[in-house]
Amino acid sequence: MAKVLPDIFIDSNLPAYEHLLELDNLKVYFDTQDGIVKAVDGVSFTLNAGQTLGVVGESGSGKSVTAMSILGLVPMPPGRFADGDIRFKGQSLLAMKDKDMQVIRGNHIAMIFQDPLSSLNPVYRVGKQVGEGLVIHRGLTATQAVAKAVELLDMVGIPNPEQRVRDYPHQFSGGMRQRAMIAMALACEPEILIADEPTTALDVTIQAQIIELMQELQKKHGTAIIMITHDLGVVADMADNILVMYAGKPVEYGTTNQIFYSPLHPYTWGLMRSIPKRTLDNDQPLTPIKGNPPSLIDLPAGCAFSERCPYVQQHCRDEEPMMRLVSDDHYSSCFFSHDGEFLLNSPIYDTTEEVAAGALDTGTLADAGALDTGTLADTGELADADDSNYQSGGRDG
- Note the residues at the interface with other proteins (CB under 8 A): 71, 73, 98, 102-107, 110-111, 113, 115, 118-125, 132-133, 136-137, 168, 170-176, 181, 184, 203
Residue closer to other proteins by CB (options 118, 163) is 118
Q: Minimum distance from CB of 351 to other proteins (Å)?
A: 34
Cβ nearer to other proteins, comparing 282 with 373: 373
Residue number, 214 or 275, with CB nearest to other proteins: 214
Q: Report in angstroms how near the CB of residue 188 gets to other proteins at its nearest.
A: 8
* Distance of closest approach, residue 381 Cβ to other proteins, in angstroms: 16
DSSP 8-class letter at 18: S
Under 8 Å between Cβ of 106 and 115:
no
Angle at 64 between CA 127 and CA 152, to 5 degrees: 20
Between residues 176 and 214, which has the closer beta carbon with respect to other proteins?
A: 176
Residue 224: DSSP 8-state: E
Q: What is the DSSP string of 305-368?
A: TTTT-TT--HHHHHS----EEEETTEEE--TTTT-TTGGGGSTTT--SHHHHHHT--TT--S--
Pick the closer one to other proteins by CB: 168 or 390: 168
Q: Given the complex with other proteins, which of 16 and 376 has the nearer CB atom?
A: 376
Tell me whether residue 185 or residue 272 sits nearer to other proteins (CB atom).
Answer: 185
Distance CA 266, CA 97 (A): 41
Quick one: 30 or 336, whose CB is closer to other proteins?
Answer: 30
Closest CA to 320 of 12, 42, 4: 42
Q: What are phi and psi of 193, to 5 degrees?
A: -120, 120
Q: Is the CB of 25 or the CB of 32 nearer to other proteins?
A: 32
Distance CA 68, CA 54 (A): 15
Closest by CA to 329, choosing from 45, 43, 49, 87, is 45
Shortest distance, CB of residue 229 to other proteins, whole angstroms? 18
> Taking the complex as a whole, how short is the minimal distance between the CB of residue 112 and other proteins, in angstroms?
9
Q: Are β-strands 249-255 and 241-246 bridged in parallel, bridged antiparallel, or unpaired? A: antiparallel
Q: How far apart are CB 315 and other proteins at their closest, in Å?
A: 37
The distance of closest approach from Cβ of residue 118 to other proteins in the complex, given in angstroms and rounded to an integer, is 4
Distances (CA, A) of 158 to 42, 113, 228, 394: 41, 19, 24, 23
Work out the end-to-end distance of the chain between its first and last CA atoms, rounded to an integer number of angstroms. 51
**Dihedral sign for Cα atoms in the order 367, 250, 227, 346:** negative
Q: What sign results for the dihedral spanned by CA atoms 178, 181, 185, 186?
A: positive
- In angstroms, give the least distance from the CB of 12 to other proteins: 21
Least distance from other proteins to the Cβ atom of residue 336, Å: 38
CB of 292 to other proteins, least distance (A): 18
* Nearer of residues 96 and 275 to other proteins, judged by Cβ: 96
Helix (H) or strand (E) holding 245: strand 241-246
Residue 47 pairs in a beta bridge with 21
CB 108 within 8 A of CB 185: no
Residue nearer to other proteins on the CB measure, 132 or 387? 132
Strand order in the sheet with 249-255: 109-112, 192-196, 224-229, 52-56, 241-246, 249-255, 330-332, 324-327
In sequence order, what are the residues at sequence separation of 6 or more whose Cβ sits closer than 8 angstroms to the Cβ of residue 264?
A: 252, 254, 326, 330, 332, 334, 337, 343, 346
CB of 312 to other proteins, least distance (A): 31
